[in-house]
Structure 1
Amino acid sequence: MKGHNVGYIRVSSGSQNTERQLADIALDATFTDKASGKNTDRPELDKCFNHLRRGDTLHVHSIDRLARNLKDLQTLVDALKIKGVSVHFHKENLIFDASASSPMQELMFQMLGAFAQFERTLIKERQREGIAAAKARGQKLGAPPKLSLAQVAEIKDLALPGADKSAIAKQFGISRPTLYKILAA
C-alpha cells in the first residue's frame, strides 16, 4: 500500500508568503505554520506528526523550514524514520527513507542543519546589534504607550484609596494589572 504525500510549510511571520514552498508537489495533505523555527513548539507541526502514518512521505521545502536547530532537526527526522515515515527536503534534494539510510546523506544533512543553526545565530546577533544601535540613537522601542501623560495623571488623581479600580481601568480602556503598574510607577 502506497502512503500519502504530506507537506509541511513554515514561514516565520504572518506577513510572509507560503506560496513558493512545495507549489509544484502533489500533496494529499498540507500543514502550514506561521511561526519561528527556533523550537519545535508549533501547532501545525504537531498536527502534521499526528497525521503521518507508516509509509507516508513528509515533503518539506528546505531543511531550515523544519527546524533551525541541529538537535531539533535530527530529533524530528529520527522520530519520523522510527515511525516509518520518509522525509524529502526538496531544496537540498535529500530524501531520508524510513527503511534505509545513506552515510553520505546523513553527513550532508548534518552539515546543512548546522548551517541553518548558524544562520539563526547570525540573525539573532544582527537583531541584538540593531536594537543596541536604535537605543544608542535614543529611539524608543516597543509598542507606543496606550495613555498620554495627561491620562496617567488623571488616573492617579482618580485612584484614591477606596476608589473602584475596575471602573477606572474600564474608563481608560486598560486592564487592572496595567492600572496597578501605572499607580506603582
Structure 2
Amino acid sequence: MNAQRKTPSHPATGQRIGYVRVSSVDQNDARQLDGVDLDKTFTDKASGKDTDRPQLKAMREYVREGDHLYVHSMDRLSRSLKDLQAVVEDLTGRGVSVSFVKEGMTFTGNDDPMATLMLQLLGAVGQFERALIKERQREGIAIAKTQGAYKGRKPALDAEAAASLRDMAARGIPKTDIAATLGISRASVYEYLKASAR
C-alpha cells in the first residue's frame, strides 16, 4: 500500500498508536486497550470481514517509521488470515512495530521464522474457530426447521397491515408512499408483494 508517510498532524517520531474495532455501534470499545498508554487511537465500528474500514485506512496512512501500533487481539485487526498477514507485513515493512495485547506478541519486521509461524498459526486458528461457529449456527437452524421450532425473523407487519399493503399496491399507490405509510422500507414492500404472488 502506498500510504502517505508524512502528515502535518504527526509529531516527529515514535508515537504509540492504538487501533480498536468493534462489530457494531452498540458495543463498548473502551476496554480493548484499557491500561495501554497511547498518543492516538483509531476506532472502527464495523465488521472485520475485510480491510475496507475507514479508521483502519486512516491509521495505515497516519503511522510512520518508528511508531508502535497496539491492537487488542489479532481478530480485531482482521478476521481473515490473508488480510491479517498483509496488514502486519505492510506496517512492519514501513518500520512500524505491531503488538497484539491479548496474544502478548509484537512484530517488528525483523522477526525470526518462529514469530512469523506464530502469526500464521494464531490467525489460522481464529479463522477456523469462526468457521466452526458459523457451521454450528447453520446446523442449529437446520435442526430447528425440521422440528418446526425455527420461525425466522418476525414479520414487520401483521396480517391486517400486510393486506393493506397489497390493497394500496393494487390501487397503484407508489411503493415509496406505501413504505412511508406503514413504516417499513421499500425493499420490505417488494418482499411482501413477492411473497403474496407465490
| Larger displacement relative to structure 2 (80-89 or 173-182) | 173-182
- CA offset at residue 58 of structure 1? 0.7
Q: Show structure 1 runs of 4+ deviating over 6 A.
A: none
| Larger displacement relative to structure 2 (115-124 or 33-42) | 33-42
The whole-number CA distance in structure 1 between the counterparts of 2:102 and 2:178 is 56
Question: Unmatched 5+ residue regions in structure 2?
Answer: 1-11
Partner of 1:40: 51
| Larger displacement relative to structure 2 (60-69 or 132-141) | 132-141
1:6 partner SS: strand
- CA offset at residue 13 of structure 1? 3.5
| Larger displacement relative to structure 2 (84-93 or 167-176) | 167-176
Q: Indicate yes or no: 2:149 matched with 1:131.
A: no
- CA offset at residue 175 of structure 1? 4.3
The whole-number CA distance in structure 1 between the counterparts of 2:78 and 2:181 is 45
| 1:115-173 CA distance string (max 9 Å, x none) | 1111111121122122223323332112x222222222233334345x33254443333
Instruction: Report the TM-score, using the length of structure 2 for normalisation.
Output: 0.79
C-alpha RMSD of the superposition:
2.3
Residue correspondence of structure 1 range 14-163 to structure 2 within 5 A: 14-98=25-109, 100-138=110-148, 139-142=150-153, 144-160=154-170, 163=172
Using the aligned pairs only, state the percent identity.
52
The whole-number CA distance in structure 2 between the counterparts of 1:137 and 1:4 is 57
- CA offset at residue 61 of structure 1? 1.6
Q: Relative to 1, partners in 2 of residues 1:53 and 1:154: Cα closer, same or farther, differing over 3 Å?
A: same
The whole-number CA distance in structure 1 between the counterparts of 2:79 and 2:192 is 39
Instruction: Report the TM-score, using the length of structure 1 for normalisation.
Output: 0.83
The whole-number CA distance in structure 1 between the counterparts of 2:178 and 2:81 is 50
- CA offset at residue 49 of structure 1? 1.3
Q: Relative to 1, partners in 2 of residues 1:115 and 1:149: Cα closer, same or farther, differing over 3 Å?
A: same
Question: Unmatched 5+ residue regions in structure 1?
Answer: none
The whole-number CA distance in structure 2 between the counterparts of 1:168 and 1:69 is 41
User: CA contact under 8 A between 2:13 and 2:65: conserved in structure 1?
Assistant: no
The whole-number CA distance in structure 1 between the counterparts of 2:186 and 2:127 is 41
| 1:74-130 CA distance string (max 9 Å, x none) | 1111111222211111222221114x2222211211111111111111121122122
2:167 partner SS: helix
